[in-house]
Amino acid sequence: MSNPPNAFGTRSAPFCINTAVIIVLIGSVAGGFTAQRPLSSVNRPPSKTTAAASPAELSVPEAIAINKTGSTELKWVFGGKSQRGWAIYIPLILEAVGTDKGVESSEFAKAVARWQKHHGLRANGIVDQDTWSEMIREFQSPRIKERDNPPSDSLVVAPPSDFFDEDRPAEFRQVESRSYVAYKRMIAAAAKDRSLGLRVTASGALAPAEKYLKIISAFRSREHQDRLRKAEPQAGRAGLAVNSPHFTGRAIDLYVGGEPVSSADGNRLVQTRTPVYRWLVKNAQKFGFRPYFYEPWHWEYVSGPQ
């Protein structure tokens, strides 16, 4: 029996691992994800903890307690860098499991259990390592797969007013044309949402002084990316991607708060708590954009309006 689509419109095959795992994601933290591989945990918890963390059936009190701890303590690895917890990604998780209730609520545990059941996992209501691994795979599956530069006639030069840095040269203000049209439609919708408190012009466009949702970066050629990497030799896999979706012109970095593109945990946590980021999580898909789960600022145009 096929699994139903989740809130992001994707289907996932059952994926269940019976041992404790650390999630290893191979690729760049800067948009260069290529694969993921589960490995046996080096630091296995005591057997009592393991049993408590993996009940075969939903126990709401246990799930609440374990989710509260796991949101800040679950160990996993991404791009060769150790990670702890999934609190940064709560908006994406809530959207995926279909609830707006907090991690410490019974509704959250029940929603996770339903999601697990649909994905062939034990419906224990806990975002454990098996579940988190499958969630990441689901978040990543709709992303841009190709990395080729688009034809030059498919790129448009966006005006300086669309950019976080209005002094950005024209050659670095290029966006793939369909993606740019979708971006403008999406921003127009956000500007109408008064709950976001965005500054807008009389025509409904984002005001020049407004920084939220302005473009930080879009199309980058492979040659330009190589120059950036050479200028930052310490970036490695945890910095600038060797094969970036920005090569297509369909990946757009948007300002969602904090330091624009800092992957520091504290900064990403700030970003995923802003109203504009939460709005994007709920609405960007309507305009064809999907998130890169690790970078709150990074959004990819993958399809027409939904």
Residue 294: which CATH number?
3.30.1380.10
CA distance 108 to 93: 10
Separation in Å, CA 6 to CA 23, 61, 111: 21, 25, 12
Q: Are residues 160 and 292 in the same domain?
A: yes
**Residue finishing a domain among 140, 163, 188:** 140
Instruction: Examine residue 41 and state whether it is found in any structural domain, yes or no.
Output: yes
- pTM for the complete prediction? 0.81
Question: For 45-54, 57-66, 296-305, which range has the lowest pLDDT when averaged over its residues?
Answer: 45-54
Q: Are residues 168 and 262 in the same domain?
A: yes
Please, are residues 120 and 274 in contact by the beta-carbon 8 Å criterion?
Answer: no
Q: Are residues 85 and 25 in the same domain?
A: yes
Amino acid (one-letter) located at 96: A
Total domain count for the chain? 2
Q: Are residues 287 and 158 in the same domain?
A: yes
Which among 113, 218, 114, 86 is positioned nearest to 164, based on CA atoms? 218
Distance between alpha carbon 180 and the CA centroid of its chain, in Å? 20
Amino acid (one-letter) located at 189: A
* pLDDT band at residue 56 using 50, 70 and 90 as cut-offs: low
Instruction: Examine residue 6 and state whether it is found in any structural domain, yes or no.
Output: no
Q: Per-residue pLDDT tens for 123-172?
A: 999 999 999 999 999 999 999 999 888 998 999 999 999 999 999 999 99
CA dihedral 282, 285, 286, 288 (to 10 degrees): 160
Does residue 51 have a pLDDT over 60?
no
Domain that holds residue 59: 21-140
Which among 120, 3, 135, 31 is positioned nearest to 76, based on CA atoms? 135
Instruction: Examine residue 209 and state whether it is found in any structural domain, yes or no.
Output: yes
Q: Are residues 104 and 231 in the same domain?
A: no
Q: For the residues 20-33, what does the mean pLDDT come to?
A: 39
Per-residue pLDDT at 223 = 81
Does residue 232 have a pLDDT over 90?
no
Which among 248, 222, 284, 287 is positioned nearest to 155, based on CA atoms? 248
Q: Are residues 99 and 208 in the same domain?
A: no
Does residue 217 have a pLDDT over 90?
yes
